[in-house]
A and B are shown apart, each in its own frame.
Chain A
Amino acid sequence: MTAAHPAADGPAVVADRPVARDHTALYRRLLRRETHASRSGSVVVSMLVVLVLAAVAVFAAVLVFTEQSLLGIDPRVVVDGVGRAPDGTDPTIVVTIGALVAVVGLVFLLHGLLPRRRPRHALSSSRLAVVVDDEVLASAAARAARSATRLGPDAAVGTVGRRTVDVLLRPAAGVDVPALAASEAVEREFAEIDPQPALAARVRVQPNGRVDG
């Protein structure tokens, strides 16, 4: 604790000046961004698709302007062929490509519209904006449950959902586990952590004991 306070000896120097600035709105925005997934991956892919299509269109226009054709393909003849569809087009190829394009479009659309959460929770704090990965909460839950029992470090497994935290105790065969005490310990731990949204704790004891423990 002592090493953690390099500035503890001199807060009085400027203590009258700390600018009391309210960061509530900024924190709300930060927490929302940190608990929701970024779509930058699909944004990059979709923009690359657009860039490729735009490049193809530019290339075709240049071919038309210069009266050239590439590999015997004149863009104007291709347009005519598209205009005459479905006459003279292979149904299998068109349906396959059309379905593929539609599915890719649907994926982009859903990525853009649907909310996607990250497995994280916000923590209440008077000074900071705090986010915790669910894995850290699960590991804290497992440790809390284990601390009320006499089990080894690998005998408790925690799982955190959006509103629940599950701890599974896996005692060695024949070992009695105070499940109620473990449950209380987890509840106490999470009352202290105070995650948002709140997590309801549940502790279960695996009925068939391990033999390796």
Chain B
Amino acid sequence: MNATNRGLGRTALVVVGLALLVLGVAAVLVQTLPWAADRWHTLAPVALADLGADADRAASVTAWTWVLGGAVVLGVLALVVLSSLGGGRVGTVLEDDGAADGVPGVVRVEAAAVQHALSSAIGALPQVASLAVDVYRVRGVRAVRIRVRPRRGAAPREITTRVEQIVADLDALLGERLPVLLEIARGGAGSARADRVH
């Protein structure tokens, strides 16, 4: 539940994949099929003439400047895509300046407060071996992610119901219904030991 832009990533993957596929297949075809080599020999002199050793200095510099510019743009685009991965974790859960005619000032609830409250409440459940609470920004909304690693054989519905109750208490405490994602994950410390209370 991070801020990765998956659409952008997949688009980049498709474009790069398509380009490499076409390049590789074209190289193999030109090398092995005579008609592909003929096509290449009519195409290449036009496309690559200014980049070659026989071109005069001015044309050569112009052509290679285009190559340079294209490469820089491509590199920047790649960095943009890379920087879109991950992130989105925030330190504040709630920020509210109250009613317009109320007391001046802002109430801010830090993520740590919610983390501590949820951790101590959920960690006390016998089915839970370990847990982590994080706050993320998703589409401009702050959302809480609770990742629970249950003990072996724990009933997921029971965990969900208990966490629902705890989150309802949190709602009452905060005065706002934050979006909450509960992730019941496998493995983790203590999960090999079965829950002894059924």
User: Which residues does A use to contact B, with CB under 8 Å?
Assistant: 1, 3-8, 10-15, 17-21, 23, 26-27, 29-30, 33-34, 38-40, 42-44, 46-51, 53-55, 57-58, 60-62, 64-65, 74-77, 79-80, 82-86, 89, 91, 94-95, 97-113, 123, 125-133, 135-137, 139-140, 142-143, 147, 153, 189, 192-195
Query: Which secondary structure dominates chain B's binding surface?
Result: helix
- Is the Cβ of A43 less than 8 Å from the Cβ of B81? yes
- Is the Cβ of B52 less than 8 Å from the Cβ of A7? no
- Is the Cβ of A112 less than 8 Å from the Cβ of B13? yes
- Is the Cβ of B165 less than 8 Å from the Cβ of A4? yes
- Is the Cβ of A47 less than 8 Å from the Cβ of B81? yes
Top 9 nearest A-B pairs (CB, nearest first) are A102-B24, A105-B20, A108-B17, A109-B17, A143-B153, A112-B13, A105-B21, A98-B27, A101-B24
Please indicate the chain A residues that have their CB under 8 angstroms from the CB of B106 in the complex: none
Contacts A34-B183, A105-B22, A111-B17 given: A47-B86 contact, CB under 8 Å? no
User: Which residues does B use to contact A, with CB under 8 Å?
Assistant: 1, 4, 6, 9-14, 16-28, 30-32, 37, 40, 44-45, 48, 51-55, 60-61, 64-65, 67-68, 70-72, 74-75, 77-79, 81-82, 85-86, 117, 120-122, 124-125, 138-139, 141, 143, 150, 152-157, 160, 162-177, 179-187, 194, 198
For the complex, give the distance between the alpha carbons of A42 and B177 in Å.
36
- Is the Cβ of B157 less than 8 Å from the Cβ of A135? no
Please indicate the chain B residues that have their CB under 8 angstroms from the CB of A4 in the complex: 121-122, 124-125, 162, 165-166
- Is the Cβ of B31 less than 8 Å from the Cβ of A83? no
- Is the Cβ of B68 less than 8 Å from the Cβ of A57? yes
Within 8 Å by CB of A86, from B31, B166, B176, lies: B31
For the complex, give the distance between the alpha carbons of A14 and B170 in Å.
11
- Is the Cβ of A61 less than 8 Å from the Cβ of B81? no
Please indicate the chain B residues that have their CB under 8 angstroms from the CB of A55 in the complex: 71, 75
Can you name 15 extra interface pairs (CB under 8 A) apart from A61-B68, A108-B17, A193-B157?
A3-B124, A23-B179, A30-B181, A34-B181, A47-B12, A47-B79, A79-B53, A95-B28, A97-B27, A102-B23, A102-B25, A123-B160, A127-B164, A139-B153, A189-B155
- Is the Cβ of A14 less than 8 Å from the Cβ of B172? yes
